[in-house]
Amino acid sequence: MTRSLLAGACALAVNLLPMAGAHAQTDPVLVPADDASGGAADQGASSTTDAAPADEDKQAPIPFEGGQFTITQQEEYGEKVLAYDGKQLADNYDVFFDKIVEVGGVKVALFDVGDGGNQCGPASVIAWKPEGGEIQTATVEQDECGAPPPAVSDSAIYYVPFLLPGETRAALQWSPTEGLTTSGNLTYTPESGTDWKDVDPSKYDNIIDAFHNEAVYKAAQAVLGDTMPDMATSLLVGGGTERTASGAFYATGCVPHDCGGNDGFMAVDPVKHMVYFARRGDNGEPDARPPLKDWPADIKKAYDDAQGAAN
């Protein structure tokens, strides 16, 4: 899904993040061919277990600390319910087991829980059982649009956020003793020293990738100011770029879950060192930077054609 785009689309500058020792525990569990259980019975012996149910709609129970997790669905198109020994922990249309890890000597189960659908990934649900206590959970989510992939160390689970151009966000960490806390702040930063001559749209999966270029980023910052994250959000759901006759390239996109209601347009002219942006404003009129009257004819035509296709 486009989550792979989101995970790779930003460059990060670490302001304060003591995470040098963090590493993902993703060793696969090898299951003999004659083990019909799929290895579920051996999960307690491994620090990490990846889920691989044969039928995603009927996930097998997951043994955990003397009990078991279940993921059930009462109606064909209804929500799925995550429970532990009958106690409901979470519910949504997409509920999947991720893995079991060990953090600070405590076994922890990770689940993905989300709405499904267009572009937004799932939240991360952390479940653990304190010694002699009841099952506990914590949920990690970024702006109601999924959680970053968890990175597991011996002492904590880290969630490094996806950043849009112009954004600064908190990176989070969770441990059995401290719970969910802030590790520090991350700021989107373009690749230092890159210039207009380095712009290569053939390498972009999404036009947002152009913000990696320092010259493009600074030009965009000059015309967008603090609205840069909003403009980038309006381009998240999009594909590759197209070219105009003059050599400029452009693309359209939209906000996840609001395509047709909140669409964006971006064009880059690496020869004239210019960038152009437009998105649908609150009153239905385009919010263009710079104003549409100052756009070159070929880029204005590309925008008009894109608007016509969207309508």
Model pLDDT, residue 146 = 85
Say if residues 251 and 238 touch (Cβ distance below 8 Å).
Answer: yes
Exposure of 259 by Cβ count < 10 A (0-12 exposed, 13-18 middle, 19+ buried)?
middle
> How confident is the model over 51-65, as pLDDT tens digits?
434 455 678 999 999
Q: What is the 3-state secondary structure (H, E, C) of the chain?
A: CCHHHHHHCCCEEECCCCCCCCCCCCCCCCCCCCCCCCCHHHHHHCCCEECCCCCCCCCCCEEECCEEEEEEECCCCCCEEEEECCEEEEEECEEEEEEEEEECCEEEEEEEEECCCCCCCCEEEEEECCCCCCCEEEEECCCCCCCCCEEECCCCEEECCCCCCCCEEEEEEEECCCEEEEEEEEEECCECCCCHHHCCHHHCCCHHHHHHEHHHHHHHHHHHHHHHHHHHHCCCEECCCEECCCCCEEEEEECCCCCCCCEEEEEEECCCCEEEEEEECCCCCEEEECCHHHCCHHHHHHHHHHHHHHC
pLDDT, the chain, mean: 82
Compute the distance between CA of residue 74 and CA of residue 10 in angstroms, rounded to an integer.
Answer: 40
Instruction: Output the CA angle 80-84-85, nearest 5 degrees.
Output: 115
Instruction: Provide the pLDDT confidence category of residue 77 given band limits of 50, 70 and 90.
Output: confident
> How confident is the model over 239-276, as pLDDT tens digits?
889 999 889 999 999 988 788 888 999 999 999 999 99
pLDDT of 224 above 90:
yes
Q: Which two tokens stand for residue 196?
A: 């207009």
Say if residues 46 and 31 touch (Cβ distance below 8 Å).
Answer: no
C-alpha gyration radius of the chain: 23
Model pLDDT, residue 12 = 35
Model pLDDT, residue 109 = 98
* Domains annotated on the chain, with CATH: 3-188 (no CATH), 196-310 (3.40.1420.10)
Model pLDDT, residue 309 = 65
* % of the chain beyond a pLDDT of 90: 66
Across 265-303, b (16+ Cβ under 10 Å) vs e yields: bbbbbbeeebbbbbbbeeeeebbbbeebeebbebbbebb
- What is the layout of strands, in order, in the sheet containing 49-50? 49-50, 94-103, 106-114, 123-128, 136-140
> How confident is the model over 177-218, as pLDDT tens digits?
999 999 999 999 999 999 999 999 999 999 999 999 999 999
pLDDT of 157 above 60:
yes
On whether the pTM is more than 0.75, the answer is: no
Model pLDDT, residue 119 = 62
Q: Which long-range contacts (CB under 8 A, 24 or more apart) does 50-57 make?
A: 50/26, 50/98, 50/99, 51/96, 51/97, 51/98, 51/99, 53/97, 56/96
Q: How many CA atoms lie within 13 A of 75 on its CB side?
A: 6
Model pLDDT, residue 310 = 58
Q: Which two tokens stand for residue 227?
A: 């609205």
